[in-house]
Chains A and B, each alone.
Chain A
Amino acid sequence: MLYTGSVHTVGEHIDTDAIIPARFLVTSDPKILGSHCMAGLAEDWIARVHEGDILVAGRNFGCGSSREHAPIALLGAGIPLVIGHSFARIFYRNAFNMGLPLFEIGDQVQAFHEGDVISVDTDTGIITNQTRSATIQCPPIPASMAKILAAQGLVGYVKKRLASQA
């Protein structure tokens, strides 16, 4: 799958309370959660984001709580994938389980700037920065995660497995 969009950058150690503050966790509706995405960073952050924009994050993105509402809020905000220096482990599992691919690229995140237009091929792991005419080859998505993504997330994956056992 090829995604093209404008980059939004966030810093390091962005916690899940920043991605979606606890006071909004009284629903699991993606659109409602998406409308408050990053409200713990800046209340008006979401106003600058358009459908299809791509998030580029610093180290340890998604640290803190296990709330799956965090990847749901990102998807609900129209963000199809996240590129990061590194990810907190619960967030990492949750993102793939919800069908949100993550690309962990270490210090190479510094090559991306707010407003850059980039395209990401989630099958090959090739990221092209169109604004700066640069290309990065990411490590492929681990096979165990790719299987989950192929089923649009863990719900679809387990559904298939349960159906095959029946």
Chain B
Amino acid sequence: MQMTLAQKLLQRHTNDAITQDGQIVSCSVSVVLANDITGPLAIRSFLGMGAKKVFDKDRIILVMDHFTPQKDIDSANQVCISRTFAKEQGITHYYEGGACGVEHALLPEQGLVQPGDLVVGADSHTCTYGGLGAFATGMGSTDIAAAMALGETWLKVPASIRVEYTGRMDPMLRAKDLILLLIGKIGVDGALYKALEFGGDVVDSLPLEGRLTMANMAIEAGAKAGLFACDAITQEYCAAHGGLIVEAIGPDAGASYEKTVTIDITGQKPVVSCPHIPGNVKAVADLPTIPINQVVIGSCTNGRISDMRDAASILRGRKVDPHVRCIVLPATPTVWKECLYEGLMEVFMEAGCIVGPCTCGPCLGGHMGILADGERAVSTSNRNFKGRMGSLQSEVYLGSPLVAAASAVCGRVAGPEDL
């Protein structure tokens, strides 16, 4: 059988012969992930199941990233639950405090996920690791508890949608624009229960961090996974992050797809996703003047070093509009230090940004940048649901770091060409 990437990756983890989409298979998992919000629930379920030991203490990863640094007594108490569990179980990869970063930026950077892996995480953006050529999908805490106890989970083999990006990429266009264009085209349930398999000349030459950005938002189209082949770019990244030597993995020629979506990006300019749904995608240039109060540059979507460099390229020698608070949150301690050593921190501070810790914080309206009634933000994160960043009467626009930084300078939703 000629296999899609989804079929091929799942086949590596099941003894059942995969013969068709829709088949339910029992799979062994490579990595099981939870965070400070979903971990305590998973632990409660794990204990409720009567489980005594995790299946493998080296393959459970707990990252206390959402409300870090602990924002109040309740969130601090939640972290205690995970910390105690990690200690009792001898969990190797437990991240808190200064070692902590935004989980989906941290794991690839630390070489904790490899191409070909099957990763399940109690966080919907677990699909990020599809950028590395891993089958990765989000689940709830109790599914994760079962995986922690058994080392396996059940999965339905998803039908795949092949997405081909063709054409010439504008120098101001980024991976974020590419994925927003897709979500705008197929809608927020356009890939419901399915896998997105990305290909075409444009993504074949896309740097790995951009692939992670795109895979990250597969869930915003309802997808179970967003997958990239593991190629020379992936192999180079893995060698540099954890010194991993990995084999190339790609779909078979002639594999069967539910459909193919082709997106020609020639002449395409930067876009934003307008409130209150990620599928509401418009070219920045087509928008009227929309004043803003806040900009957030960071998150599991766009908090990596290439994103920080993009933001700094706009902010260098410029000032953030006095009516805007521009919050820069490098996603991991390593990214933070790279920003420091490369002089990007100086750029951000001279421009008038607030530089904060490695946290999910404002992306989910947790803390460190909450919107008031009637306020509006441009964010490099992945969701702009009503009330996502604070008040139900606030608005969030999603865009690339170039768009976010340009908006911070202009005091309105703007692109790099507006400067």
A18-B385, A28-B40 are known contacts. Are A88 and B189 too (CB-CB below 8 A)? yes
**B-chain residues with CB within 8 Å of residue A42 when the two chains form the complex:** 392
**Which of A23, A26, A97 gathers most chain B CB within 10 Å?**
A26
* B45 (CB) vs chain A CBs: closest residue: A155
Let me know if A162 and B50 touch, CB within 8 A: yes
Q: Is B88's beta carbon under 8 Å from chain A?
A: no
Q: How distant is the Cα of A28 from the Cα of B143 in the complex, in angstroms?
A: 16
B50 contacts which of A26, A64, A97, A163 (Cβ < 8 Å)? A163
Q: Is B85's beta carbon under 8 Å from chain A?
A: no
Q: How distant is the Cα of A22 from the Cα of B75 in the complex, in angstroms?
A: 11
**A-chain residues with CB within 8 Å of residue B40 when the two chains form the complex:** 28
Q: How far does the Cβ of A61 sit from chain B's closest Cβ, in whole Å?
A: 10
Q: What sequence of 0s and 1s flags, for each residue 47-90 of chain A, a beta carbon within 8 Å of any chain B beta carbon?
A: 00000000000011001111111010000000000000010111
A60 contacts which of B75, B126, B192, B388 (Cβ < 8 Å)? B192
B interface residues, how many (CB within 8 angstroms): 51
Let me know if A66 and B138 touch, CB within 8 A: yes
A19-41 residues with Cβ-Cβ distance < 8 A to B are 21-23, 25-28, 40-41
Let me know if B146 and A158 touch, CB within 8 A: yes
Let me know if A60 and B189 touch, CB within 8 A: yes
B188 contacts which of A60, A155, A163 (Cβ < 8 Å)? A60
Q: How distant is the Cα of A65 from the Cα of B383 in the complex, in angstroms?
A: 9
* A15 (CB) vs chain B CBs: closest residue: B385
A interface residues, how many (CB within 8 angstroms): 42
Let me know if B140 and A22 touch, CB within 8 A: no
A27 contacts which of B51, B74, B124 (Cβ < 8 Å)? B74
* A22 (CB) vs chain B CBs: closest residue: B364
Q: What sequence of 0s and 1s flags, for each residue 51-77 of chain B, a beta carbon within 8 Å of any chain A beta carbon?
A: 100000000000000110000101101
**Which of B123, B140, B142, B189 gathers most chain A CB within 10 Å?**
B140
Let me know if A162 and B143 touch, CB within 8 A: no
Let me know if B138 and A13 touch, CB within 8 A: no
Let me know if B50 and A63 touch, CB within 8 A: no
Q: How distant is the Cα of A84 from the Cα of B142 in the complex, in angstroms?
A: 22
A22-B364, A25-B37 are known contacts. Are A98 and B142 too (CB-CB below 8 A)? yes
Q: Is A121's beta carbon under 8 Å from chain B?
A: no
Q: Is B387's beta carbon under 8 Å from chain A?
A: yes
Q: How distant is the Cα of A21 from the Cα of B192 in the complex, in angstroms?
A: 23
* A91 (CB) vs chain B CBs: closest residue: B140
Q: How distant is the Cα of A22 from the Cα of B383 in the complex, in angstroms?
A: 13
Q: How distant is the Cα of A161 from the Cα of B150 in the complex, in angstroms?
A: 10
Let me know if B224 and A89 touch, CB within 8 A: yes
* A97 (CB) vs chain B CBs: closest residue: B142
Q: How distant is the Cα of A162 from the Cα of B385 in the complex, in angstroms?
A: 40
Q: Is A6's beta carbon under 8 Å from chain B?
A: no
Q: What sequence of 0s and 1s flags, for each residue 170-192 of chain B, a beta carbon within 8 Å of any chain A beta carbon?
A: 00000000000000000011001
Q: How distant is the Cα of A67 from the Cα of B78 in the complex, in angstroms?
A: 15
Let me know if A68 and B75 touch, CB within 8 A: no
B139-166 residues with Cβ-Cβ distance < 8 A to A are 139-143, 145-146, 149-150, 154
4 extra interchain contacts, Cβ-Cβ under 8 A, other than A18-B386, A28-B40, A67-B140? Answer: A13-B189, A23-B365, A94-B143, A97-B142
Instruction: Identify 7 residue pairs between A and B in the complex whose beta-carbon atoms are under 8 Å apart, listed by A's number.
Output: A22-B388, A66-B138, A67-B38, A88-B192, A89-B192, A154-B45, A162-B50
